[in-house]
Amino acid sequence: MSDKANLKIVSLLPSATEIIDCLGLTEALVGRSHECDYPNQVKDLPVCTEARLDSSKKSGEIDADVQSLMQEALSIYKIKTEVLERLQPTQIVTQDQCDVCAVNLPEVERAIAKLINSHPQVISLQPNLLHQVWTDIERVAQTLGVEAQPVLNKLQSRLDAIANKIKDNEKPTVVALEWTEPLMVAGNWIPELIEIAGGKPLLSFKGEHSPYLFWESLIEIEPEIIVIMPCGFDLKRTEKESQVLTQHPGWKSLKAVKNGKVFVVDGNAYFNRPGPRLVDSAEILAEIFHPQLFDFGHRGKSWKPFL
């Protein structure tokens, strides 16, 4: 087992912070990214990153800024090397899964090379599927000298409870939108969560990055349910950014719109973060797809009907 007193961990992405918390190591955190906000006590930690783009802009403008930075081969995020130098971490947890989601591994390696007073161990996460998220939790636990299995057993038992309840029920077709302007379908672990919650995912594939989506494809496929979960947006911001969808001439013709089956969720806190709260995300979807079977208390807090 680890000597927690000797651990000084910096987490450079929100999901890693939540993994460290679920493993009982929150007190070992000495620094965080500018986006780490859960659990609440981490907000007081020194911030080690900053964004090169303005996330208060409209969705279309943010997407354009992201594409511009990527074309210039610039990272979307900067590491505050002087803060790392002061903190002298023993471990830095980062990711190599998505350059848009958080600071990437090469950027971290460049920052560490500049450090004089510390040589932290880098733990890099790269999950695209649900089982890879659980493997990451196990790997972080092993690296930091704590036990992961009790945590993983609890998470899996919650997912099993959903699966057992919905196995004999009809499964509605679902499109999950990860961005509203331009349209993007949620990929990676989201199709798995939809299946676990008792739905049939359309237009995206397990383990693959989120693709852009033509309106014509959305209209043609006619999903029974649409769930809107823009990356990095909370429930209130998602509701605001989703208004642009209603301006498209094909919006009102969609079956999900006619039947009142369009929903907004807090993607930032749940669906976008490959950590323990993906189980909460599955419970949110189960409430949306099968309200007669599930009530985990998320409605109105983490999701709501759109319009």
Last residue of a domain, one of 147, 179, 194: 147
> Is 162 part of any domain?
no
Q: How confident is the model at residue 96 (pLDDT cuts 50, 70, 90)?
A: confident
Q: Is residue 205 part of a domain?
A: yes
Q: What CATH number does residue 202 fall under? A: 3.40.50.1980
Same domain assignment for residues 142 and 239: no
Choose the final residue of a domain: 114, 147, 180: 147
> Do 206 and 287 fall into the same domain?
yes
Q: What average pLDDT does the segment 112-119 reach?
A: 83
Contacts of 93 (CB under 8 A, 6+ apart): 9, 10, 11, 12, 13, 16, 19, 20, 123, 124, 125, 140
Distances (CA, A) of 3 to 7, 144, 251: 7, 9, 56
Dist. CA 271–CA 261, nearest whole Å: 19
pLDDT digits (tens, 9 = 90+) for 36-66: 999 999 999 999 998 765 567 776 766 665 5
Question: What's residue 107's pLDDT?
Answer: 77
Claim to verify: residue 278 and residue 208 sit in the same structural domain: yes
Rounded to 10 degrees, the C-alpha dihedral 172/225/216/221 comes to: 10
| Of the candidate ranges 117-126, 176-185, 265-274, the one whose mean pLDDT is the lowest | 117-126
Whether residue 220 is found in the same domain as residue 115: no
Whether residue 16 is found in the same domain as residue 125: yes
Note whether 134 and 13 are same-domain residues: yes
Are residues 122 and 172 located together in one domain of the fold? Answer: no
Q: How many domains does the chain have?
A: 2
The candidate with the shortest Cα–Cα distance to 279, out of 205, 193, 194, is: 193
Structure tokens at 154: 């609890």
Single residue among 79, 114, 147 that ends a domain in this structure: 147
Report which of residues 104 and 131 the model is more confident about. 131
> CB under 8 Å to 110, separation ≥6 — which residues?
none
Structural domain contains residue 259:
yes
pLDDT of 97 higher than 80: no
What confidence score (pLDDT) does residue 1 get? 43
Same domain, 121 and 198: no
| Same-domain check for residues 236 and 289 | yes
The residue-averaged pLDDT of 250-260 equals 96
Asked, for residue 160, whether it belongs to a domain, the answer is no
- Tell me the average pLDDT across 117-126: 89
Q: Tell me whether residue 14 is in a domain.
A: yes
Tell me which of 148 and 126 has the higher pLDDT. Answer: 148
Mean pLDDT of the chain: 90
Cβ contact 11:32 at 8 Å: yes
Q: Centre a 10 Å sphere on the Cβ of residue 157 and count the other Cβ atoms it contains.
A: 10
Asked, for residue 159, whether it belongs to a domain, the answer is: no
Q: What's the pLDDT at 68?
A: 61
Residues 122 and 175 in one domain: no
Tell me, yes or no, whether 63 lies in a domain.
yes
Residue 98 confidence class, pLDDT cut points 50, 70, 90: low
- In this prediction, residue 152 carries a pLDDT of 98
Chain centroid to CA 124: 16
**Whether residue 192 sits in one domain with residue 123:** no
pLDDT, residue 90, reads 95
**Segment 63-70 mean pLDDT:** 58
Whether 122 maps to a domain, the answer reads yes
pLDDT higher at 184 or 74: 184
Same domain? 140 vs 16: yes
Q: What is the pLDDT of residue 113?
A: 84
Residue 224 has pLDDT above 90, yes or no: yes
Range of the domain at 212: 168-305
